Structure 1
Amino acid sequence: MFNGLNFSKWHEQVQFHLGVMDLDFALLNDKSTIITDKSSEDEKSFHKSWERSNILSLMFMQMTIANNFKSTVPQTESVTEYLKFVEKRFHSADKSLAGTLMAEFTIMKFDGSRAKSYYRDD
């Protein structure tokens, strides 16, 4: 579940699950041109596959985002647009948390039973 601070892990998990479910077609391919009566069967098939993948991928991503963050992500027509917005909006928070944790871990030492911070009396 995406909570606003775990973008990297969430992104990796979403890509994995969509790939396993064979729904990553819209992430891997650009949307086809507009389908007309003159479009070939291959073009129609590609468009149908892309639309199905796009809709189901959007639904999957929306299901894996915590409710308090869903309202901050605008509705989009494309799963790639949705993912880009989430990345742009929350990737820096993910990096900030990683930096904070790395700083905390670098000042810790192990005393034989548990880790202690150099600067705090735990």
Structure 2
Amino acid sequence: MLINIPVLNDTNFKKWKEHVIIVLRCMDLDYALRDDRPVDLTSVSTTKQRVAMEKWEQSNRMSLMIMKHSIPEAIRGAIPEETRAKTFLDQIAN
């Protein structure tokens, strides 16, 4: 599936983004793009909150890795370092 994502260049952002989102959805990894990061866990956090945070963190890590893998290093170097996939995607769009 990852081979279907074109390498990002100066002219194909719309196509690249579309492919990235399709791949992440098919892999059930688009959670971090759809939902904001859950609130920080505390000692009184519920199991449901802990599961939601783990799901979001895994989705976020994998989404960032997949997006960065399809961006040439020269372009990646011009994008500020970001730890949230949704923000990273927004930065590329601008």
Distance 1:23 1:17 in 2: 8
Deviation at 1:40, TM superposition (A): 0.4
Say whether residues 1:40 and 2:43 are aligned partners.
no
Alignment of 1:1-122 (within 5 A): 1-88=7-94
Deviation at 1:11, TM superposition (A): 0.5
Alignment-mate amino acid for residue 69 of structure 1: I
Higher percent of residues as strand: 1
Alignment-mate amino acid for residue 75 of structure 1: E
Q: Is the 8 A contact 1:7 1:87 kept in 2?
A: yes
Which portions of structure 1, spanning 4 or more consecutive aligned residues, are displaced by more than 4 angstroms? none
Distance 2:10 2:32 in 1: 24
Distance 1:54 1:68 in 2: 23
CA RMSD in angstroms, aligned pairs only? 0.7
Between the two proteins, the alignment pairs up a number of residues equal to: 88
Distance 2:9 2:72 in 1: 6
Q: Is the 8 A contact 1:2 1:10 kept in 2?
A: yes
Which segments of 5 or more consecutive residues in structure 1 lack a partner in the other structure? 89-122
Distance 1:28 1:86 in 2: 17
Distance 2:67 2:10 in 1: 13
Which segments of 5 or more consecutive residues in structure 2 lack a partner in the other structure? 1-6
Alignment correspondent of 2:3: none
Deviation at 1:67, TM superposition (A): 2.2
Of structures 1 and 2, the larger Rg is shown by 1
Alignment-mate amino acid for residue 12 of structure 1: E
